[in-house]
């Protein structure tokens, strides 16, 4: 269990932070090179584009960890807890099944991209687009944990434990 938590933390926390830093640094250097030295860098542009994609998808998985995605809470929060749980179970089940069904074609497509290389750096696109199946795997794993906890709360009445948000 500690190994799984380490791997999930590696992707959701650490790797997403690294890609965010690379994104910031590459964009900062692009501005300096373009406007100070009048030498635009296509390499830095490509790095910023790919690090943006990785940052967004790993960051979305990180937000899912804390159930911190955008929701329409106007009605949801006024409903009794059991109805909220039923709604959560339905949506979590639906999206988990959807992601599981989409996973094999996404992996096939990502592996097919090994034939194509990025324009400037020459990196196989497989490495660039693997952020999507990684995101999908992280969300499916998180949804399965949430489904277990939601069903347990619905059946036994024990309140579900969610990790404390580090930014609060």
Residue-wise pLDDT for 29-67, tens only, equals 999 999 999 999 999 999 999 999 999 999 999 988 888
Of 38, 18, 53, 73, nearest in space to 129 by CA: 53
Span 139-155, mean pLDDT? 92
Q: Does residue 161 sit within a domain?
A: no
Residue 146 falls within a domain, yes or no?
yes
Q: Which residues pair with 117 in a beta bridge?
A: 124
Q: Which residues of 124-150 are buried (b: 16+ CB within 10 A; e: fewer)?
A: ebbebbbbbbbbbbbbbbbbeebeebb
User: Rounded mean pLDDT of the chain?
Assistant: 90
Residue 77 pLDDT grade (very low, low, confident, very high; cuts 50, 70, 90):
confident
Q: State the residue range of the domain holding 23.
A: 2-156
What's the domain count of the chain? Answer: 1
Indicate the pLDDT class of residue 168, thresholds 50, 70 and 90: low
User: What distance in Å separates the CA atoms of residue 159 and residue 35, rounded to the nearest whole number?
Assistant: 55
Which pLDDT score, from 0 to 100, does residue 133 have? 95
Does any domain span residue 77?
yes
Highest-scoring range by mean pLDDT, 1-15, 18-32, 66-80: 18-32
164, part of any domain: no
Predicted local confidence at residue 75, as pLDDT: 86
Q: Structure pTM?
A: 0.86
- pLDDT score of 73: 80
For residue 50, count other CB atoms closer than 10 A to its CB.
22
Phi first, then psi: give them for residue 120, nearest 5 degrees. Answer: -100, -50
Residue 65 belongs to some domain of the structure: yes
């Amino acid at each position: 269990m500690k190994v799984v938590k380490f791997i999930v933390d590696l992707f959701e926390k650490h790797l997403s932070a690294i890609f965010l830093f690379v994104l910031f640094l590459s964009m900062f250097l692009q501005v300096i090179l373009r406007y100070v030295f009048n030498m635009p860098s296509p390499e830095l542009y490509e790095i910023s584009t790919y690090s943006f994609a990785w940052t967004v998808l790993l960051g979305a998985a990180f937000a899912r960890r804390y159930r911190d995605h955008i929701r329409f809470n106007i009605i949801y929060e006024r409903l009794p807890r059991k109805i909220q749980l039923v709604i959560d179970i339905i949506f979590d089940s639906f999206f988990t099944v959807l992601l599981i069904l989409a996973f094999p074609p996404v992996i096939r497509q990502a592996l097919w991209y090994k034939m194509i290389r990025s324009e400037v750096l020459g990196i196989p696109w497989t490495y660039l687009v693997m952020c999507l199946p990684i995101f999908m795997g992280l969300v499916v794993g998180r949804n399965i944990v949430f489904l277990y906890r939601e069903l347990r709360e619905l059946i036994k009445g024990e309140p579900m434990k969610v990790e404390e948000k580090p930014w609060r």
